[in-house]
Amino acid sequence: MSAIRYELIKTDKQTGARLGILHTPHGSYETPMFMPVGTLATVKTMSPEELKEIGAGVILSNTYHLWLRPGHDIVKEAGGLHQFMNWDQAILTDSGGFQVFSLSEFRKIEEEGVHFRNHLNGDKLFLSPEISMEVQNALGSDIMMAFDECPPYPAEYDYMKKSVERTSRWAERCLKAHKRPKDQGLFGIVQGGEYEDLRKQSAEDLVSLDFPGYAVGGLSVGEPKETMNRMLEFTTPLLPADKPRYLMGVGSPDSLIDGAIRGIDMFDCVLPTRIARNGTVMTSSGRLVVKNAKYARDFCPLDEHCDCYTCRNYSRAYIRHLIHTNEILGFRLCTYHNLHFLIQLMERVRQAIREDCLMDFREQFFEQYGFNKPNAKNF
């Protein structure tokens, strides 16, 4: 019996989007869902109570970052990541693979693993499927991710083919090295870039290993949105219907809806928290850069249709002042609002699936948000 179980409730008649429940050792959560990112064992600026207030379910934390600081041994000594950070709901940890490829330098990929240099101080480091599993077992996350190779975008076919094959071999090693399958569910990651046959090969390899969940990796790395959607349409049907599907690193409102339409159940992204700290927020009528001078005397809430703590109590003028003067409360208020916005969006997506009208909802949302406009500002 795996630590993670997915229960399919219903499928939207317009699109094939799935309404489901993800059962974890730390609670059950409705899908499709968005997972806020807490890289260093904290969702930047937010307290656990605030996360619960906005209805956050699963949060994500980064294995690579925690491995370096404070070190997985310290987190383990604290009783695991949940206890360390005072979060009693579910946690997903990534494998460190993406950070090795995006943050570190001088990396050298071998069959055994990856040699690279620490992004903080340049120290030599080595990460492998076995080490990633050891670290994630120490962290004690509910959902662990297999250690994969994240190829650059774009990548040549031959490179991608070798990479996909290595990722499959590494996935098998991850399964073998995983010491706590009863407490933690390990997800495989389908790679293959823009190549359909490699996506297929990757999906088949991983499905044959019978993971309790599957991620689609290597998307949202610079390719056009159409490519992402096409690859999702191709890939998700290759994955078993009774397992959850996770699209990694995607968090713009349009992509969440378009991913759900293509059968994705889980999303994560630093987008809402990152742009918040720069004074940019998502509203029902589109992106708003509250930091701009034009909001200095605007005493309306960030979003007049929003009932979150920020919008109930503070004006654009006040938040603009806080961001402008680098005040932490400003970062808090924008982060709170953005996470609330995406979590509410997913609740509306689920409601649309319940009512078999997700395409209608998409149309309406895109229109209101301004995604349909030519030259629409996106993220």
- Nearest distance in Å: CB 324, its own copies: 7
Is 308 annotated to bind a ligand? Reply is yes
How far is 377 from 252, CA to CA, in rounded Å?
12
Query: What's the token pair of residue 315?
Result: 């004006």
Give the contact letters, 220-249, x = binds to its own copies (CB under 8 A), - = no.
------------------------------
* Footprint of its own copies on 282-301 (CB under 8 A): 296-297, 299
How far is 338 from 93, CA to CA, in rounded Å?
22
- Nearest distance in Å: CB 321, its own copies: 4
Is 361 annotated to bind a ligand? Reply is no
Closer residue to its own copies (CB): 83 or 102: 83
Is 285 annotated to bind a ligand? Reply is no
Q: Binding to its own copies by residue 84, rule CB under 8 A?
A: yes
Closer residue to its own copies (CB): 42 or 368: 42
Show which residues are catalytic: 94, 268
| Stretch binding its own copies (CB under 8 A), from 77-85, 97-105, 182-190, 201-209 | 77-85
- Nearest distance in Å: CB 275, its own copies: 15
Is 98 annotated to bind a ligand? Reply is yes
Q: Binding to its own copies by residue 78, rule CB under 8 A?
A: yes
244: closest CA among 2, 3, 4, 62? 4
Closer residue to its own copies (CB): 322 or 358: 322
Q: Binding to its own copies by residue 331, rule CB under 8 A?
A: yes
Q: Tell me whether the omega of the peptide bond preceding residue 154 falls within 30 degrees of 0, making it cis.
A: yes
Q: Which of 153, 159, 234, 318 binds its own copies (CB under 8 A)?
A: 318
| Stretch binding its own copies (CB under 8 A), from 156-164, 226-234, 245-253, 319-327 | 319-327
Q: Which of 2, 42, 344, 378 binds its own copies (CB under 8 A)?
A: 42
Is 79 annotated to bind a ligand? Reply is no
| Stretch binding its own copies (CB under 8 A), from 79-87, 101-109, 236-244, 261-269 | 79-87
Is 14 annotated to bind a ligand? Reply is no
Q: Which of 46, 171, 248, 345 binds its own copies (CB under 8 A)?
A: 46
Is 360 annotated to bind a ligand? Reply is no
* Backbone phi, psi, residue 120, to 5°: -90, -45
Binding site for its own copies (CB under 8 A): 40-42, 44-48, 69-70, 74, 77-78, 84-86, 296-297, 299, 313-315, 317-318, 320-322, 324-325, 327-332
Binding site members for Zn(2+): 306, 308, 311, 337
Binding site members for substrate: 94-98, 148, 191, 218
